[in-house]
Amino acid sequence: MAIGARKQKSDYGSLYKGHPGQWSWVLHRITGVAVILFLFVHVVDTALIGWGPEAYEKVLHAYANPIIHLLELGLVIAVLYHSINGLKITLIDFFPSLTSKIVPLSIASALLFALTAIPTAVIMLKQTWDLWQA
């Protein structure tokens, strides 16, 4: 009678071990949910115009708050990551041979994200600082 090979304890373990594809997948889902939640809030705050200009003005006034401005920065960073990672996924979908190059693609998309996110964050944080000083 043949005995199946026993799995070693190291064969189990945590679900995410840091493989670029795994972390990319997790961050893509998180940023996708963040963008959807923002879109829901945006539709609601835009719909407030139906209750009159006063209600809408209160919402617009809230956007001048530095804390809200930091949340907007988070949204922009999420959109940047989600779109750049989406381009990587699209490339892999159209050119399946690129799956063998997932690590260089992940590094390239991370660099592109950093090259776009850092200047954007600097600009938006300057605006947030100006709001805090006002």
Q: Residue 121 corresponds to which tokens in the numbers above? A: 């964050």
For 40-78, the pLDDT digits (tens) are: 988 988 888 888 888 888 888 888 888 988 999 999 999
Closest CA to 80 of 120, 29, 134: 120
Split at pLDDT 50, 70, 90, the class of 17 is: low
Q: What mean pLDDT value characterizes the chain?
A: 86
For 87-112, the pLDDT digits (tens) are: 999 999 999 999 889 889 989 999 99
> Residue 47 has what pLDDT?
86
- One DSSP character per residue, the chain reads ---PPPPPGGGSS-S----HHHHHHHHHHHHHHHHHHHHHHHHHHHHGGGG-HHHHHHHHHHTTSHHHHHHHHHHHHHHHHHHHHHHHHHHHHH-GGGGGGHHHHHHHHHHHHHHHHHHHHHHHHHHHHHHHH-
Per-residue pLDDT at 82 exceeds 90: yes
> Residue 131 has what pLDDT?
82
> Residue 23 has what pLDDT?
80
The answer to whether 61 and 131 are in contact (CB under 8 A) is no
> Angle at Cα 118 formed by Cα 74 and Cα 40, nearest 5°?
20
Split at pLDDT 50, 70, 90, the class of 80 is: very high
Q: How crowded is residue 88: how many other Cβ atoms within 10 Å of its Cβ? A: 19
% of the chain exceeding 70 in pLDDT:
85
Split at pLDDT 50, 70, 90, the class of 6 is: low
